[in-house]
Structure 1
Amino acid sequence: MSKGEENKGATTQRNMIQAINNAMDVCMERDDNVCVFGEDVGYYGGVFRATAGLQEKYGKTRSFDTPINECGIIGVAVGMAAYGMRPVAEIQFADYIYPGLDQLVSEAARLRYRSAGEFTSPLTIRTPFGGGIFGGQTHSQSPESIFTHVCGVKTVIPSTPYDAKGLLIAAIEDPDPVVFFEPKRIYNGPFDGHYDTPVLPWSKHPASEVPDGHYAIPLGKANVLREGSAVTMLCYGTMVHVTAAAVEELGIDAEVIDLRTLLPLDMETIEASVKKTGRCVIVHEATRTSGFGAELSALVQERCFYHLEAPIERVTGYDTPYPHSLEWAYFPGPVRLRLAIERVMEDVSGNV
């Protein structure tokens, strides 16, 4: 738990889906202007059951289904937000978000600036992203870097149920548009970071203790999961668990940082860590070329060049269409991470 977070009252064992559902429930109960909508979101409760029970509790005007029209879903959210509501729109899979890009980029992101502050756009777009269900090219994309390029849109990715609830509450309460990517590989709880035995997201995993009431994790604040002095590991989402597994397996004194928010980015924490360790490995599931790791690498090089003891390493997905049956080979795994860590840990003589 980072500074500035509230954590009071009773807790309940929740997986990420349950934590996300609870976050929306808490916000809807506190603020009548919060409404939830999307494809199959109302009566059915969403394809991953993230909105289950909300329509029954709050009615069809605050939790409702929409047509299969992503442009319309985001467009309606922009109008609601400008009117003073706090819409939480679900895009069923991140792969489907592209038809709504114009509404998000050209309207929501620019509304505050274009209106000289007269209007804001306090909307949240929730969407599952990444692999984990053998969904292939149309259900497994990781397009987060596209949104970090858009001024005026915040990009958030949780890695635990506790973070998912706190970050989503902060996103819903934020005065500006937030794209909230949910790593479906860990929807139903943490895993050990290894891919030897693929586990689908609806399989049972251990849950985590999540406070029942309201708490918010400030956007733009990374979480140092593990302190160390040998190498800085930058990761987010599912890759937090993969990175933790690789570091544990190697027994290396690595500092593992869960970014949590890609934009705004906690560069202060990153910079302090890299200047301490002198080495940096960046891990993400998205394709390598123009992935967010490229921006991280540039920022670290600009801020920490004279402290680096080795070239920055990136461990990412491959620059290929997302494979269907070879999903687990596509994922960055402990073996690839180990090789990257060994490369940055070599001294000038080639010794590790």
Structure 2
Amino acid sequence: MLDIFQQLKSELPQLDEFMSQQIRALTQHPALLLADIVKLGRQVYFRTAGHDSPARDRLKAWLDKELEQAKDYYHKHFFADMPRSALNVPIIPPTYSENSPLKNGYEILNTFFDRIFEKYPHVFAFGEDVGKIGGVNQAFAGLQAKFGESRIFDTGIREWTIMGQAIGMAMRGLRPIGEIQYLDYLIYGLEPLNDDLATLRYRSDGQQKAPAIVRTRGHRLEGIWHTGSPMGMLLNAIRGMYLCVPRNMVQAAGMYNTLLQSDEPGIIIERLNAYRLKERLPDNIGEYTVPMGMPEILKEGTDVTIVTYGSCVPVAEEAIGLLEQFGISVELIDVQTLLPFDLEGVIVHSLAKTNRVVFLDEDVPGGATAYMMQQVLEVQGGYRYLDSEPVTVTAAEHRTPYGSDGDYFAKPNAEDVFEAVYRLIYEAEPDRLPPLA
């Protein structure tokens, strides 16, 4: 670096004083670190912008090399860089036949877990009420009697311990599914996920792994302590884990199967209000997978793209039915996983077609919708396709009040989505639609 600086000083006499200062900073530093050298080099590179100099070309080549090496040295083993990554699990779609029965959502999961516990003797499940009664939503009903109390068992009411037990079992080569009864309670077990599980592979330089699966349920239903959707909190706390947000139990089962075939940890948040909704049981339950980081286009459209997940998918579908009465064509995308997020640019490709986007969920304002917006507009470069401002539709800032009325007025509903999309289209094309007000 000193040689490069001296060459720059010689080639750019108009910057003689500046380069002399940088040379002194380089040679007189009491305890020079690589970061100090790179910092000085980058500042010199900025200052010499617009100057044609072979030494500046040398400086750029040196900086590019060091920054690339630092990226590999300091950022590797954080996410999805192992042979048994969830991203490498083969995609097997669910299959159906004329005889595929309609089942309640919890029965879909119950059948799936039955197959999985039969297939993998190293899979365990535990949590509050998971064992004897089969879980508060019955996904493990009858399975403790079939597979034994050592594999499916109850725990005390302490989420920290449940998560710690899952991490320890996973590090010993087992495949634990640690259940947090409701998403609202995950905050009590968040610290070991944040400090230990999400960082394990990174801080051990890829030498350790703990492929624990955290099972929980959340989003809308009723009850102030049972209907939370603090996705922004999770997004900022568990980088290094997968965050899966299935829209139904068929998708949830596929996500469990994907994670079970990988060596990486993840959280799957089932829809609290979908356990008794009817779904067709796939013929290949226990075999099909759902890809991580791959959104699914549920409905194609041309006027606007709605990006959502989980319990807000049916909300968006209801709103689309209302919007179609006014000739508004909506493309609906289910992100499926928030971590990782849309690895192949499905959403930005849709935005390039519709030129308008609405991000919908039931986190607080500025929560996961802000994250999705940043990913699409900044990371994917979607800003260049916008013809209208991007819109977010979220829940209120407070917790959901008790009762069905509380759910309607505190969580985003189909009418909220309708108004947001309608006003977006009306602003762009006022001659196309009658004014709402």
Of 215, 230, 233, which residue of structure 1 is paired with 2:288?
A: 215
Residues 127-138 of structure 1: pairs in structure 2 closer than 5 A: 127-132=216-221, 134-136=222-224, 138=225
Q: Which gives a bigger RCO, structure 1 or 2 (Cα 8 Å, sep 6+)? A: 1
Q: Mean alpha-carbon deviation: is it higher for 208-217 or for 91-100?
A: 208-217
1:8 CA drift (Å)? 4.6
Q: Which amino acid aligns with 1:66?
A: T
Q: 2:398 aligns with which of 313, 317, 320?
A: 320
Q: C-alpha displacement at 1:110, in angstroms? A: 1.2
Aligned to 2:91: 4
Q: In structure 1, give the amino acid aligned to 2:316.
A: T
Q: Partners of 2:354 and 2:338 in 1: how far apart?
A: 22
- Answer yes or no: is the 8 Å Cα contact 2:249–2:270 preserved in 1: no
TM-score with structure 2 setting the length = 0.72
**Superposition deviation, residue 6 in structure 1:** 3.3
**DSSP-derived class of the 2:361 partner:** strand
The residue number in structure 1 matching 2:207 is: 118
| 1:273-296 Cα deviation digits (max 9, x unpaired) | 11111000111012113x110011
Matches within 5 A, 1:90-109: 90-109=179-198
Secondary structure of the 1:107 match is: helix
Cα distance, 1:144–1:24 mapped onto 2, change above 3 Å: farther
User: Is 1:276 aligned to 2:276, yes or no?
Assistant: no
Quote the Cα distance in structure 2 between the aligned partners of 1:349 and 1:182. Answer: 39
1:300 maps to what in 2?
376
Letter in 2 for 1:237: G
1:146 Cα deviation from its structure 2 partner? 1.9
Which of 321-330 and 222-231 deviates more? 321-330
Counterpart secondary structure, 1:97: helix
1:311 to 376, 384, 389: 389
- Paired with 1:249 and 1:9, the residues of 2 have a C-alpha distance of 30
1:70 and 1:161 map into 2 onto residues whose CA distance is 24
What amino acid does structure 2 have at the position aligned with 1:4? I
What whole-Å deviation, never above 9, does each CA across 1:210-262 have from its counterpart, x for those lacking one?
A: 23341111111111100111110101111100101111221121110011111
Task: Supply the distance in 1 between the matched residues of 2:425 and 2:103 (Cα, whole angstroms).
Answer: 38
Cα deviation, 1:131-182, whole Å, max 9, x if unaligned, reads: 21x211x111112222222321110011123212111211333311111111
Residue of structure 2 equivalent to 1:233: 306
Question: Partner residue of 1:180?
Answer: 268
Match of 2:341, SS state, is coil
**Structure that is richer in helix per residue:** 2
The 3 A distance-change label for structure 1 pair 19 and 76 is: same
Q: 1:89 aligns with which of 157, 166, 178?
A: 178
CA shift for structure 1 position 266: 1.0
Structure 2: gaps of 5 or more residues: 1-89
- C-alpha distance in 2, partners of 1:47/1:232? 36
Displacement of 1:271 in angstroms is 1.0
Once structures 1 and 2 are overlaid, which stretch shifts more, 294-303 or 84-93?
294-303
Query: Which structure 1 residue ranges, 4+ long, deviate > 6 Å from structure 2?
Result: none
Q: Secondary structure at the match of 2:359?
A: strand
The equivalent residue for 1:192 is: none
1:86: how far off? 0.7
Q: Please give the alpha-carbon distance, in whole angstroms, between the structure 1 residues aligned to 2:192 and 2:428.
A: 51
* Structure 1 partner of 2:232: 145
In the alignment, what sits opposite 1:160?
248
Hey, what does 2:422 align to over in structure 1? 342
How big is the shift at 1:44?
A: 0.8
Normalising by structure 1, what TM-score? 0.89
- Offset at 1:27? 2.0
Once the two structures are TM-superposed, the CA of residue 9 in structure 1 deviates from its matched residue by: 7.2
Contact 1:26 1:214 in 2 (8 A): no
CA distance in structure 2 between the aligned counterparts of 1:23 and 1:130, rounded to whole angstroms: 22
- RMSD over aligned Cα, in angstroms? 1.8
The secondary structure found in structure 2 opposite 1:244 is helix
Q: Deviations over 1:61-113 (max 9, x none)?
A: 10000111100000000000011111001101111111211111111111112
- Structure with greater Cα Rg: 2
Number of aligned residue pairs? 331
Could you tell me how far apart the structure 1 residues matched to 2:187 and 2:429 are?
48
Structure 1 Cα separation of the partners of residues 228 and 96 of structure 2 = 37
Which structure: greater strand fraction? 1
